[in-house]
Amino acid sequence: MTTRSSNNPQPLAELVSYFFTRREAILNNWRITCENDAFLGKISTLSRDEFNNLIPIVLTLLEKRLMKEPEDVDPAIAATSHGLHRWQKSHALLETIRELNHFTQILYNELEAFHALFPKTEARFLLQVHRLIAQFMSETIDGSVKKYDELQRLEAANRASSLQKVIDQMTELSQLRGTMLRTTSHDLRGSFGIINSAAHLLKMDGLSQEERDQFLEMLNRNLTNVQSMLGNLTNLSRLEAGEDMLQIQTIDVVGLVKKLIDDALPLASERGLVLSADGPESIIAQTDPGKLHQIAYHLLQNALQYTSSGFISVSWITENDFHWILSIQDSGAGISGNLAGLLTKQLKPNVEPVSVLSPDQSDPVSVLPTNEHDIPEGSVLAQTAVNSTHREGVSLQLVKRLCELLDASLEIETEEGRGSLFRIRFPVHYNN
């Protein structure tokens, strides 16, 4: 219970001092409120530092706004960075808005508590502070919403890019169809008709062996690419439409991962790659086996496809009683530029601030937010999509959506010319 001997404080300085002294209690009360909200079930899976994230910095910025002092950090960058953090932790936009609304109400409650301690404080002053808090928190919420909007635009660009590549593949097949028609005088209808009839056409007279080999290789390549991209787009559409429901079971997740690795060994050997697996013999956890399989399969196949030589390392470990981690690392070219590079920046691991009173002085590195994760505006993003390669389709986006469905967080580290690391942090169990 906080008490004061004075009932006539210097309002602004006393209020700022009060808020500063109450900072830890404010953060704790915010967490308790969020954990008691049935809509925010994921909060309990976050550590203290993960939950607080950049909010201590937000409190410092609010203090400076009240005192009309220069702000060391752009509040908009702090807000968008917090939104990115929650997206990385697989929180939906409505969940992020809801928890920030709870935080705003906690600040209002503290203002009322201050008034109760100092009843002679002018009502006009308290109203001004209330309005300033409302405006400041509105800016914070708007910044988080802006980040989610940027991420949705990036996802849309990924989908558009993949669809364009399907169209390009089918155009190539159509051109091949014209060549084969002139040679065989068979009228085939549609690009997929070419694929289905390829074996028959390649047996026709009039084609040289070189032409047959060329057409066969092109058909096989396009068939694989088209099937993969359309399959990913279909799966992504089902996820976004909410048609793919969770089927949670308690299983040994290591057994599932090891089976995938065993199945991938022949392809790794064929490509001259060393595929290794490390981790405990067993991890019993709740999960949706089908979706876990999809996540691990896509990331492992991605590593196999885009690593021309060297190593692929798959490892797993329990982090604590609440999480286990699956990591897939390769010695490929890394991910840089274009859409995949933008998405990778959004999934870069965070350094969580530990200090509540001086988050800008946390060791061993500064945790002040930056704008390096900004996503360009429409025309620039559209041009980036045009220049994207096949790797930059919807595969990562599909994995991210599956992670969100499983309340898992996805992190990506990449170094151009040296390789990439994909790290997924899964819950060990789920609340009913």
Question: Mind listing the pLDDT tens digit of every residue in the chain (432 residues)?
Answer: 444 444 444 788 889 988 988 888 899 899 999 999 999 988 888 888 889 888 888 999 999 999 888 887 778 888 888 888 888 888 888 898 899 999 999 999 999 999 998 898 898 999 999 999 999 998 888 888 888 777 776 666 655 555 555 555 555 544 544 443 333 333 333 334 444 445 445 555 666 777 667 666 655 655 554 554 455 555 555 655 555 678 899 999 999 999 999 989 988 998 899 898 998 999 999 999 988 998 998 899 888 888 888 889 898 989 878 899 999 989 888 876 655 555 666 666 665 555 555 555 554 444 555 655 555 555 544 444 444 454 444 577 788 888 888 989 888 888 888 888 888 999 999 876
Please check whether residue 5 lies inside any domain of the structure. Answer: no
What local confidence, expressed as pLDDT, does residue 369 receive? 55
Please check whether residue 177 lies inside any domain of the structure. Answer: yes
Give the distance between the most distant pair of CA atoms in the chain.
Answer: 103
Please check whether residue 309 lies inside any domain of the structure. Answer: yes
**What does the block give as tokens for 176?**
């091949």
Beta-bridged to residue 263, according to DSSP, are none
Q: Are residue 317 and residue 270 in the same domain, yes or no?
A: yes
C-alpha–C-alpha distance, residues 277 and 313, integer Å: 6
Per-residue model confidence as pLDDT tens digits over 94-149:
898 899 999 999 999 999 999 998 898 898 999 999 999 999 998 888 888 888 77
Q: Are residue 423 and residue 284 in the same domain, yes or no?
A: yes
Per-residue model confidence as pLDDT tens digits over 334-358:
876 655 555 666 666 665 555 555 5
Please check whether residue 326 lies inside any domain of the structure. Answer: yes
Please check whether residue 108 lies inside any domain of the structure. Answer: yes
Q: Are residue 168 and residue 111 in the same domain, yes or no?
A: no
Q: Are residue 188 and residue 261 in the same domain, yes or no?
A: no
Q: Are residue 118 and residue 181 in the same domain, yes or no?
A: no
Measure Cα distances from 78 to 84, 141, 171, 371 in Å: 10, 11, 46, 9
Q: Number of folded domains in the chain?
A: 3
Q: Are residue 231 and residue 262 in the same domain, yes or no?
A: no
What local confidence, expressed as pLDDT, does residue 394 receive? 52
Please check whether residue 1 lies inside any domain of the structure. Answer: no
pTM reported for the whole predicted model: 0.56
* End-of-domain residue from the set 212, 240, 268: 240
* End-of-domain residue from the set 153, 181, 214: 153
DSSP letter at 59 equals: H
Q: Are residue 95 and residue 188 in the same domain, yes or no?
A: no
Cβ atoms of residues 301 and 330 within 8 Å: no
For residue 392, give the CATH number of its domain.
Answer: 3.30.565.10
What local confidence, expressed as pLDDT, does residue 373 receive? 53
Q: Are residue 120 and residue 166 in the same domain, yes or no?
A: no
| DSSP letters spanning 68-123 | TPPPSS-HHHHHHHHHHHHHHTT--HHHHHHHHHHHHHHHHHHHHHHHHH-TTS-H
Burial 8-33 (b: 16+ CB within 10 A, else e): ebebeebbbebbeebbeebbebbbeb
Question: 162: how many CB neighbours lie within 10 A of its CB?
Answer: 25
Q: Are residue 271 and residue 284 in the same domain, yes or no?
A: yes
Please check whether residue 6 lies inside any domain of the structure. Answer: no
Question: 185: how many CB neighbours lie within 10 A of its CB?
Answer: 9
Q: Are residue 413 and residue 269 in the same domain, yes or no?
A: yes
Please check whether residue 3 lies inside any domain of the structure. Answer: no
* End-of-domain residue from the set 125, 153, 181: 153
| Beta pairing, strands 273-278 & 310-318 | parallel
Cβ atoms of residues 88 and 33 within 8 Å: no
Q: Are residue 106 and residue 162 in the same domain, yes or no?
A: no
Q: In which domain, by residue range, is 97 found?
A: 11-153
Q: Are residue 46 and residue 84 in the same domain, yes or no?
A: yes
